[in-house]
Each structure stands twice: as structure tokens, then as C-alpha cells.
Amino acid sequence: MESIVSTLQYLGSGLILLFIGFLAFTFTTKMSEQKLILEDGNIAVALKLAGKLVGLAIVIMSAAKYSVNYGDFIIWSLVGIIAQMVTYWIAEYVLFPKISFAKKVEEGNIAVAALLFTLSVTVGLLISGSISY
């Protein structure tokens, strides 16, 4: 019974952390992702956000798997969310300063969205591999 409670605790917290990470990303952009996806059918925006969710899920899964306790799980998950955001900013403002990723994605540029999807998943995997004792 204790393992069921623990599983539900980690699952529930993981979903909440995933939602927090998702909100953090959407609040840092000037566009309305919900409108662009649901009303305009913008595949590029959907692809970019899907990459964020997958990247975050990888980190949260790894944090749950390798953490020594519940508090450790929460901390590593939050570190992963922050690292994902910092990586995005580095990519946009340092690696590609002349390209506005947000504008390109809002315009429906699937190539840029695929790059951002891959970046999010790659960073998620790297963070995941770093969360081990």
C-alpha cells in the first residue's frame, strides 16, 4: 500500500511540475500559443511546445527515478525546468542572435520549430543523464 501512495505522490507532483514548466514557457513568450494552436492550427507552435513537454518529462522522470527522497525529486525537477528555459534563451540570444525564434515559430516556420523541439529533447536527455548519484 505504501508503494501505491508513493507512486501517486510522485505522479501527481510530476504532473504538477510538468504543468508549472509548461506555464513558465508560455509566460515567457509574447505570442498566445493557445490561440495559435487551437484557432489557427499553427503546427510550428505545437511542435515547439511538444518538444518542451517531452524535454521536461524526461527530466522529471529521471528526477523521480534517481532522487534519494521526495524533496530531492522536487529540487531536481525545478532545476530541470530552469535549465530548459536557460538553454532556450542561450540558443535564441547567444547562438542565433539575428533570428527571432518566437517570430519564426509564430509565422509557422516548421524547420525552426523542429530545431527547438530537438533542442528541448536533447537538453532534457543531458539533464536526465546528469541527475544520478
The string of pLDDT tens digits covering residues 75-132 is 999 988 998 889 888 988 888 888 888 889 889 999 999 999 999 999 999 988 888 6
CA dist., res. 80 & res. 18, Å (int):
10
| Enclosing domain of residue 100 | 2-130
The owner of cell 536526465 is 128
pLDDT in tens, 25-41: 888 777 677 777 878 78
Count the Cβ atoms, other than its own, within 10 Å of residue 95: 10
pTM of the model: 0.86
Number of domains present in the structure of the chain: 1
The owner of cell 515559430 is 105
